[in-house]
């Protein structure tokens, strides 16, 4: 089969081919079959019962059973291309080509047929006191393995299959597989008190009431007798009146969920006593050996008053949890505020340090500026003194010039040439000196 065809087959029929690859020991399957309780359609052990259900086979195969009749096309023509697959999955030893086996593929969901063939084969084997299980062995093994321990004596290679199974108790079973949880489980079909199935060899019922514990619901007491009413038909021909009735009944699938109570896999004492009485009546195929498995105490049943106390305590804890969350929220706010304050303090310290540095720099620059100003003042004062000195010198020069001018005028009148020339030279000297001083003052 090519990958494309294989993918198309899986989409149409789920993981049905995986059943053929189930790794198993045929002796284990044969031993499991010996614990089958034909009238009750279940496997009865020392203190508990197990029964494969449609919901569990759905999960194993990977195909959901819709709320519609899964047997509407049993009387239609058979597409030749589907014969080969059906013969592999539903072989018929007496007739090599079993056309009825092929018709299951017309429904698009082989789940109810597989479960029907499993129950019918187990029942037929017990009626005939032996026989082969054929392909049902893989499905039986896959289903049974899902409820068994994955460690301890059950997986021991030193123990034989009958030793492992005969000494099992309810405390060793994986009752509730949460991944397989179904909101509403099938409890009956149409007018039947249980669930009738059509297989490839015949028709038979199974009793959902015995498997409630496998869906997480408690077993409070013995089931009602009418819910266990057996039905078997050694024919699966589409024109048989009973087969037609089963097909009509499947138009009304009755499911329950919350009506069964809260999820709780506890078995109450009335139910356990009923199972033990059943064991005494039918006799188990192998002796019970308590030394095989370590003693595991059964969980104590939860009484209604205990449930009320637990609910009240849960509410108290929820309130405490709410208060703690509020307090925790406040503490978180305080922590955030404290971190913010610490951050602001660091910023403030940094700002103050920067201000101190700026003030120090300002003071240094101020002192430098004051020193510069004082220097300029001192220079200015010295220049002022020099100016004043220059002015005094100028005043004396002016005085001397004026006297010289007067003497020159007097000499000019007396006609004293030699003296005149001396004074004239002296006057010119002082005038030049006065001019130089005036220029120097102007430049300063």
Whether 287 and 204 share a structural domain: yes
Whether 124 and 233 share a structural domain: yes
90-104 residue pLDDT tens: 455 444 435 555 555
pTM exceeds cut of 0.75:
no
- The answer to whether residue 226 scores a pLDDT higher than 80 is yes
Q: Angle CA(251)–CA(257)–CA(258) in degrees, nearest 5?
A: 140
Residue 278: Cβ within 10 Å count: 16
Whether 291 and 314 share a structural domain: no
Q: What is the mean pLDDT of residues 120-140?
A: 79
- Domain boundary (278, 299, 320) is at 299
Tally of structural domains, the chain: 2
Whether 86 and 9 share a structural domain: yes
- The answer to whether residue 338 scores a pLDDT higher than 60 is yes
Q: What is the mean pLDDT of residues 401-406?
A: 76
Whether 271 and 311 share a structural domain: no
Q: How far apart are CA 259 and CA 361, in angstroms?
A: 87
- Domain boundary (281, 299, 317) is at 299
Q: Angle CA(341)–CA(347)–CA(351) in degrees, nearest 5?
A: 140
Q: How far apart are CA 19 and CA 3, in angstroms?
A: 18
Question: Pick from 414, 323, 412, 53: which is nearest to 206 by CA?
Answer: 53
Q: What is the mean pLDDT of residues 281-299?
A: 79
Q: What is the mean pLDDT of residues 107-135?
A: 79
Residue 376: Cβ within 10 Å count: 10
Average pLDDT, the chain: 81
Whether 246 and 383 share a structural domain: no
**Among the ranges given (76-90, 259-273, 323-337, 385-399), the one the predictor scored with the smallest mean pLDDT:** 76-90
**Among the ranges given (100-104, 138-142, 153-157), the one the predictor scored with the smallest mean pLDDT:** 100-104
**Among the ranges given (54-63, 343-352, 401-410), the one the predictor scored with the smallest mean pLDDT:** 401-410
**Among the ranges given (89-98, 349-358, 399-408), the one the predictor scored with the smallest mean pLDDT:** 89-98
First-to-last CA distance in the chain? 118
Q: Angle CA(281)–CA(213)–CA(19) in degrees, nearest 5?
A: 95
Specify the pLDDT at position 435.
78
- The answer to whether residue 192 scores a pLDDT higher than 50 is yes
**Among the ranges given (33-47, 78-92, 145-159, 311-325), the one the predictor scored with the smallest mean pLDDT:** 78-92
Whether 7 and 70 share a structural domain: yes
Q: Which of 234-243, 377-386, 402-411 has the highest mean pLDDT?
A: 234-243
Residues of the domain holding 91: 3-299
Whether 323 and 281 share a structural domain: no
Banded model confidence at residue 441, pLDDT cuts 50, 70, 90 = low
Specify the pLDDT at position 95.
45
DSSP run (H or E) holding 332: helix 304-414
Whether 95 and 154 share a structural domain: yes
Banded model confidence at residue 106, pLDDT cuts 50, 70, 90 = low
Token pair recorded at residue 376: 């300029």
- The answer to whether residue 438 scores a pLDDT higher than 90 is no
Please tell me whether residue 169 adopts helix, strand or coil conformation: coil
Whether 189 and 93 share a structural domain: yes
- The answer to whether residue 379 scores a pLDDT higher than 90 is no
Specify the pLDDT at position 94.
47
Q: What is the mean pLDDT of residues 269-298?
A: 86
- Domain boundary (299, 328, 348) is at 299
CA distances from residue 20 to 15, 336, 353, 364 in whole angstroms, order as listed: 10, 63, 83, 97
- More confident of the two residues 129 and 235: 235
Whether 10 and 149 share a structural domain: yes
Specify the pLDDT at position 318.
85
Specify the pLDDT at position 52.
96
Q: What is the mean pLDDT of residues 335-353?
A: 87
Give yes or no for a contact between 168 and 158, defined as CB atoms under 8 angstroms apart: no
Whether 94 and 15 share a structural domain: yes
Output Rg (C-alpha) for the chain, integer angstroms.
Answer: 58
């Amino acid at each position: 089969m090519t990958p494309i065809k294989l993918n198309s087959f899986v989409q149409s029929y789920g993981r049905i081919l995986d059943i053929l690859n189930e790794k198993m020991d045929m002796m284990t399957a044969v031993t499991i079959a010996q614990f089958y309780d034909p009238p009750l359609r279940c496997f009865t052990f020392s203190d508990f019962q197990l029964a494969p259900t449609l919901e569990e086979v759905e999960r194993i195969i990977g195909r959901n059973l819709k709320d519609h009749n899964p047997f509407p096309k049993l009387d239609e023509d058979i597409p030749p291309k589907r014969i080969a697959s059906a013969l592999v999955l539903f072989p018929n030893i007496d007739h090599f080509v079993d056309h009825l086996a092929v018709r299951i593929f017309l429904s698009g969901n082989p789940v109810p047929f597989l479960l029907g063939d499993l129950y019918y084969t187990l029942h037929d084997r017990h009626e005939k006191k032996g026989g082969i299980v054929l392909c049902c062995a893989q499905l039986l093994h896959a289903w049974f393995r899902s409820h068994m321990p994955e460690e301890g004596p059950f997986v021991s290679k030193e123990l034989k299959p009958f030793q492992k199974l005969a000494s099992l108790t309810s405390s060793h079973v994986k009752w509730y597989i949460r991944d397989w949880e179904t909101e509403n489980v099938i409890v009956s079909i149409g007018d039947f008190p249980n669930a009738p199935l059509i297989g490839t060899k015949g028709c038979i019922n199974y009793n959902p009431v015995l498997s409630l514990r496998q869906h997480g619901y408690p077993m409070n007491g013995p089931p009602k007798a009418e819910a266990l009413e057996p039905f078997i038909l050694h024919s699966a021909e589409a024109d048989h009146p009973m087969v037609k009735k089963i097909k009509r009944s499947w138009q009304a699938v009755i499911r329950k969920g919350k009506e069964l109570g809260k999820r709780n896999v506890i078995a109450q004492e009335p139910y356990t006593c009923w199972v033990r009485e059943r064991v005494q009546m039918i006799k188990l195929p192998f002796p019970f050996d308590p030394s095989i498995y370590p003693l595991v105490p059964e969980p104590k049943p939860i009484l209604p008053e205990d449930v009320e106390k637990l609910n009240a305590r849960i509410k108290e804890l929820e309130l405490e949890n709410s208060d703690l969350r509020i307090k925790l929220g406040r503490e978180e706010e305080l922590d955030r505020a404290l971190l913010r304050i610490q951050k602001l303090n660091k910023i403030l310290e940094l700002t103050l340090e920067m201000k101190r540095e700026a003030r120090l720099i300002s003071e240094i620059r101020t002192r430098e500026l004051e020193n510069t100003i004082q220097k300029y003042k001192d220079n200015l004062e010295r220049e002022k003194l020099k100016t004043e000195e220059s002015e005094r010198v100028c005043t004396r020069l002016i005085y001397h010039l004026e006297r010289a001018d007067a003497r020159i005028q007097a000499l000019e009148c007396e006609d004293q040439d030699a003296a005149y020339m001396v004074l004239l030279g002296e006057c010119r000297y002082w005038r030049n000196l006065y001019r130089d001083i005036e220029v120097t003052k102007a430049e300063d």
